[in-house]
């Protein structure tokens, strides 16, 4: 009987040692993961790093209105930027504190009236607000549903402080109301 109790105690001690070792392994793994640097191969949304948003036609209530320009980069697909007097010279512009390399973007259609959606546009970039480089150009684009996000990619190896989304025509023509739920600028991993 003494042998039986002694064997049970040894088994319990052995099991406790294994559990402690396993628990220690988990902690080590967690620490390793915490110390890993960010993966340079992952895509980054750099919209939030912009220090300034500028538009040349604003919502009648201003940038902070319920449908003001700030809504176009608030990362909320249920909000939107709306203007009542679209003109083919209309643009939305992001300014960065330091030049960034961006080479993709997404647009999300707003909640109603698809005639207000952008149809033709260009993505332009500059470091001095005088010399602009065309990075992407799209024509005859159409969102097939409301609150739909569409992704566009282009080749760009250069860094710029200013990125401009210049819209020349809406689905409904060259005048009237414009709306967009979201515009996001992205940096893909370099090939």
Confidence at residue 34, expressed as pLDDT on a 0 to 100 scale: 43
Backbone angles phi, psi at 32, to 5 degrees: -60, -45
Question: Encoding tokens for residue 41?
Answer: 């191969």
Confidence at residue 101, expressed as pLDDT on a 0 to 100 scale: 97
Confidence at residue 42, expressed as pLDDT on a 0 to 100 scale: 86
Q: Which of these, 145, 67, 137, lies nearest to 108 by C-alpha position?
A: 145
CATH of 44-187, one of 3.30.70.580, 2.60.120.260, 2.60.120.40, 3.40.1010.10: 2.60.120.260
Confidence at residue 4, expressed as pLDDT on a 0 to 100 scale: 58
Residues 6 and 61: their CA atoms lie apart, in Å, by: 82
The whole-model pTM stands at: 0.78
Confidence at residue 52, expressed as pLDDT on a 0 to 100 scale: 98
Confidence at residue 190, expressed as pLDDT on a 0 to 100 scale: 81
CA angle centred on 48, ends 44 and 49, rounded to 5°:
85
Residues of the chain with pLDDT under 70: 1-41, 191
Distance set, CA 109 to CA 43, 50, 66, 159 (Å) = 22, 21, 17, 28
- For the chain, the domains span 1-36, 44-187
Confidence at residue 8, expressed as pLDDT on a 0 to 100 scale: 66
Confidence at residue 30, expressed as pLDDT on a 0 to 100 scale: 41
Confidence at residue 16, expressed as pLDDT on a 0 to 100 scale: 64
Give burial (CB, 10 Å; 0-12/13-18/19+) of 80.
buried
Give burial (CB, 10 Å; 0-12/13-18/19+) of 72.
buried
Residues 79 and 139: their CA atoms lie apart, in Å, by: 25
């Amino acid at each position: 009987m003494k042998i039986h109790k002694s064997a049970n105690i040894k088994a319990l001690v052995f099991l406790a040692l294994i559990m402690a070792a396993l628990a220690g392994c988990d902690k080590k793994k967690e620490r390793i993961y915490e110390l890993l640097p960010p993966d340079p191969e992952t895509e980054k949304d750099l919209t939030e790093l912009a220090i300034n948003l500028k538009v040349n036609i604003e919502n009648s209530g201003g940038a902070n209105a319920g449908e003001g320009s700030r809504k176009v980069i608030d990362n909320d697909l249920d909000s939107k930027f709306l203007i009542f007097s679209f003109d083919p010279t209309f643009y939305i512009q992001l300014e960065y504190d330091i030049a960034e390399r961006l080479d993709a973007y997404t647009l999300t259609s707003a909640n109603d009236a698809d005639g207000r959606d952008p149809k033709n546009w260009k993505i332009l970039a500059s470091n001095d607000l005088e010399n602009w480089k065309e990075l992407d150009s799209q024509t005859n684009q159409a969102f097939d549903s409301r609150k739909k996000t569409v992704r566009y990619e282009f080749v760009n190896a250069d860094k710029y402080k200013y990125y401009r989304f210049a819209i020349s025509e809406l689905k409904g023509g060259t005048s009237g109301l414009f709306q967009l739920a979201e515009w996001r600028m992205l940096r893909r991993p370099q090939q």
